[in-house]
């Protein structure tokens, strides 16, 4: 973010919590403002404090990043009302896509395939059962305000529905303030493939092709790559066309991602839209050679999109592995602590995005993502060899990380062959 700002001659202001006083992002910025205590609700989730910091620093615009308030339409709206630019989509688009049921309705109306299921919240277990019988078990119960896999439950048979409904609605209530649920058909061995889209204020919308993101734990991504290997050409074209149509239907501006599930026959279904820059955006940047954050800044300042569709080409192959402070030998339990030693690989085709350095404290209060390793190559083979090598040379000591797991993924037959789906991890394909 700061790199992109510097490139455009823009000054940067970081905000930080008490826990992050010594953090890398604080030193990287031209200026930094303390906004409160370590718990996120006292700092990074506190819109008032962030706006006060922006006023104090006389900022013109706020980039919300990809966590915390980045998909909170009320925050985006408050930024506008404070006379600042929000570097992202319009609040209305965030609101519409944040309501996962409304998103399903809007996308279906725009001709984007959605999974069979409910287009209204299901009021109770009876309502859920009626939909489930209609679409056929197994089904997924999902939170209407959902995201990040929270409040999601797979239900295999009618007798499991009551228990799953109670748990999912409780989790959704706790996480999102509403327990509203909906029902979707459950797919066996689907792939998670998403399309990067980008719109400007003149109504022009382009896509930047797909990212394959099927290697996940707790419905959250660990490995991403582009182009998606073994994706049938009609699916590839269909996904991109559907994603642009969906984004156009809601007048989408700035960077966004349309997420889909792809079934074994190549059929695809809209999952949700992430109305922000994504963690895995470097994959697309390495594949296309385009800078998404620079484009975000330009488009937010009212400029047209810097590229036409025909100028966007998949030139290379890129893979990203996410290094989290989690223990893969214990079901990916969190592993906060202090980074004692950090040796990062470098060399041709390797890009690193790290939020930590040796000596960094990794707090219990925030997400466990430490750094991202991205490799690219002229071919998938080359990108993959570079990733195997980069993971071998990546040393993080002081806390447990996903590195041992990631090494097993890139060494697995399934990954090497590009034959992946979202259930590989739970099936034990990458067990030690």
Q: Is 368 in the site for other proteins (CB under 8 A)?
A: yes
How far apart are alpha carbons 44 and 67 in whole angstroms?
9
Q: Which is nearer to other proteins, 98 or 151 (CB)?
A: 151
What is the distance between the terminal CA atoms of the chain, rounded to a whole angstrom? 37
Query: Which of residues 268, 269, 366, 430 is near other proteins by CB under 8 A?
Result: 366
CA distances to 51, 68, 70 from 64, in Å: 12, 8, 5
Binding window for other proteins (CB under 8 A); candidates: 52-60, 132-140, 333-341, 374-382: 333-341
22-61 positions binding other proteins, by CB under 8 A: 39
DSSP state of 186: P
Q: Is 364 in the site for other proteins (CB under 8 A)?
A: yes
Long-range contacts of 227-233 (CB under 8 A, 24+ apart): 227/287, 227/314, 227/317, 228/191, 228/193, 229/380, 229/418, 229/419, 230/418, 230/419, 231/191, 231/193, 231/262, 231/266, 232/266
195-224 positions binding other proteins, by CB under 8 A: 218
209, 287 contact by CB (below 8 A): yes
Query: Which of residues 185, 365, 407, 421 is near other proteins by CB under 8 A?
Result: 365
CB atoms within 10 A of CB 237: 11
Q: Which is nearer to other proteins, 45 or 52 (CB)?
A: 45
Is residue 191 annotated as part of the catalytic site, yes or no? no
Residue 100: partners with Cβ closer than 8 Å, 6 or more residues away: 142, 143, 144, 145, 146, 147, 182, 272
Angle at 106 between CA 104 and CA 107, to 5 degrees: 65
Query: Which of residues 253, 274, 335, 422 is near other proteins by CB under 8 A?
Result: 335
How far apart are alpha carbons 256 and 224 in whole angstroms?
16
Query: Which of residues 138, 238, 336, 355 is near other proteins by CB under 8 A?
Result: 336
Site string for other proteins, 93-132 (x = CB under 8 A): ----------------------------------------
How far apart are alpha carbons 426 and 223 in whole angstroms?
15
Binding window for other proteins (CB under 8 A); candidates: 4-12, 152-160, 226-234, 359-367: 359-367
Q: Is 65 in the site for other proteins (CB under 8 A)?
A: no
Binding window for other proteins (CB under 8 A); candidates: 110-118, 188-196, 257-265, 325-333: 325-333
Query: Which of residues 194, 259, 272, 326 is near other proteins by CB under 8 A?
Result: 326
Binding window for other proteins (CB under 8 A); candidates: 57-65, 243-251, 330-338, 410-418: 330-338
In the bound complex, what is the minimum distance in angstroms from residue 155's beta carbon to other proteins? 21
In the bound complex, what is the minimum distance in angstroms from residue 334's beta carbon to other proteins? 4
Query: Residue 361 has which token pair?
Result: 């404290």
What residues are annotated to the active site? 276
Contacts with other proteins by CB under 8 A lie at 39, 218, 325-326, 333-337, 364-368
């Amino acid at each position: 973010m700061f790199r992109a700002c510097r490139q455009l001659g823009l000054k940067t202001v970081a905000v930080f919590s008490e826990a992050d006083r010594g953090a890398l992002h604080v030193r990287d910025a031209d200026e930094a403002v303390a906004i409160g205590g370590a718990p996120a609700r006292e700092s990074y989730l506190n819109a008032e404090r962030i706006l006060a910091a922006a006023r104090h620093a006389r900022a013109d615009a706020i980039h919300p990043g990809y966590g915390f308030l980045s998909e909170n339409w009320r925050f985006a709206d408050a930024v506008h009302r404070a006379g600042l630019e929000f570097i992202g989509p319009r609040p209305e688009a965030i609101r519409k896509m944040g309501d996962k049921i409304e998103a399903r309705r809007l996308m279906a109306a725009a001709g984007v395939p959605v999974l069979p299921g409910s287009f209204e919240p299901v009021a109770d277990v009876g309502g859920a059962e009626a939909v489930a019988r209609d679409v056929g078990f197994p089904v997924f119960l999902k939170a209407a305000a959902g995201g990040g896999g929270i409040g999601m439950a797979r239900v295999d048979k009618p007798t499991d529905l009551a228990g799953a409904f109670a748990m999912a609605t409780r989790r959704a209530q706790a996480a999102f303030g509403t327990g509203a649920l909906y029902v979707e058909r459950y797919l066996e061995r689907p792939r998670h493939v998403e399309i990067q889209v980008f719109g400007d204020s003149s109504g022009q919308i382009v896509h930047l092709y797909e990212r394959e993101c099927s290697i996940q734990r707790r419905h959250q991504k660990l490995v991403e790559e582009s182009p998606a290997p073994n994706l049938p050409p009609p699916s590839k074209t269909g996904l991109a066309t559907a994603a642009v149509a969906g984004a156009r239907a809601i007048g989408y501006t700035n960077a966004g991602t349309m997420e889909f599930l792809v079934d074994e026959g190549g059929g695809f279904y809209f999952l949700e839209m992430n109305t922000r820059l994504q963690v895995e955006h470097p994959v697309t940047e390495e594949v296309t050679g385009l800078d998404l954050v620079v484009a975000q800044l330009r488009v937010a300042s009212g400029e047209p999109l810097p590229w036409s569709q025909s100028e966007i080409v998949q030139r290379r192959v890129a893979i990203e592995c996410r290094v989290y402070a989690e223990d893969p030998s214990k079901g990916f339990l969190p592993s906060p602590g202090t980074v004692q030693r950090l040796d990062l690989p470098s060399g041709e085709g390797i890009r690193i995005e790290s939020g930590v350095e040796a000596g960094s404290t990794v707090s219990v209060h925030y997400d466990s993502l430490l750094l991202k390793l991205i490799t690219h190559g002229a071919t998938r083979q080359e990108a993959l060899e570079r990733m195997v090598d980069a993971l071998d040379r990546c040393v993080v000591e002081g806390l447990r990380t996903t590195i041992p797991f990631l090494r097993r993924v890139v060494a697995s037959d399934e990954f090497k062959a590009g034959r992946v789906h979202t259930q590989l991890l739970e099936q034990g394909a990458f067990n030690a």
